[in-house]
Amino acid sequence: MGLTSQLKELADNGVKRHPQEAQIIMGNAIKALENTDILNNAAKKGDTFPNFKLPNAKGEEVVLSNILEKGKAVITFYRGGWCPYCNLELKAFQNALPAFNEKNATLIAITPETPDNTLSTQEKNELQFEVLTSKNNELARELNLVFKLPNDLVNLYGNFGIDLEKSQGNKENELPIAATYIIEQDGTIGYHFLSEDYKLRADPEEVLEYL
């Protein structure tokens, strides 16, 4: 089963799993985001991707320009290890890692979570590609991917046991939208996937077709 089908199955099960009030809160948050200009303003194909230096789960700094000297980069943003849709996405990219390696493309995942949390996510999903922390969503903010969660959704997440302040190390209650990019060796964006709906993600099979 491909990632798109897995995500749909998870979403369908979520409708059964969560009470109607929770479904309304989450649905309204997506609709509110869709009514903003976030997608219009987000970085897209043809734009220049900012060079970055970000820490991995071990605290080692990874520099985009160094990676691009070897080949293209595939960069996907995820919300956190607490997000089941993110974990499905990360596992799908891990499963496709040999295909990305064959195309000489470096796979990177970026999150606002702290390095301690990225290490847990990396170990849990047995990821063999870099998982980097962008503190306070700084890189995602440069790309205009960041939004602030409404208070009722923050409270709902709290009821689910999701503590964004603890996972990110700040009190901003901000997340990046679902976003995946292919970065060409000259630093320009060759492909983008963007969605206000966190239940939708770039399918590795589609990304591979653009490499």
Taking the whole predicted model, whether its pTM rises above 0.85 is answered as yes
Does residue 145 carry a pLDDT above 90?
A: yes
Give the model's pLDDT for residue 16.
Answer: 81
> Which CA distances in Å does 32 have to 12, 21, 47, 143?
21, 16, 26, 20
Residue 146, CA atoms < 13 Å, CB-side half-sphere: 17
CB atoms within 10 A of CB 19: 8
Superfamily of 3-210 according to CATH? Glutaredoxin (3.40.30.10)
* Span 158-173, average pLDDT: 95
Coil, strand, or helix at residue 33?
helix
The span from the CA of 7 to the CA of 200, in Å, is 7
pLDDT tens digits along 64-118:
999 999 999 999 999 999 999 999 999 999 999 999 999 999 999 999 999 988 8
* Span 185-207, average pLDDT: 97
Residue 79's Cβ-count burial label (10 Å; 0-12, 13-18, 19+) is: buried
CB 193 within 8 A of CB 201: yes
pLDDT tens digits along 4-47:
999 999 999 887 888 899 999 999 999 999 999 999 999 999 99
Query: Hey, what amino acid is at 112?
Result: P
Give residue 119's pLDDT band: very low, low, confident or very high (50, 70, 90). Answer: confident
Domain regions of the chain by residue span: 3-210
* Span 53-63, average pLDDT: 94
Give residue 181's pLDDT band: very low, low, confident or very high (50, 70, 90). Answer: very high
Give the model's pLDDT for residue 83.
Answer: 95
Coil, strand, or helix at residue 81?
coil
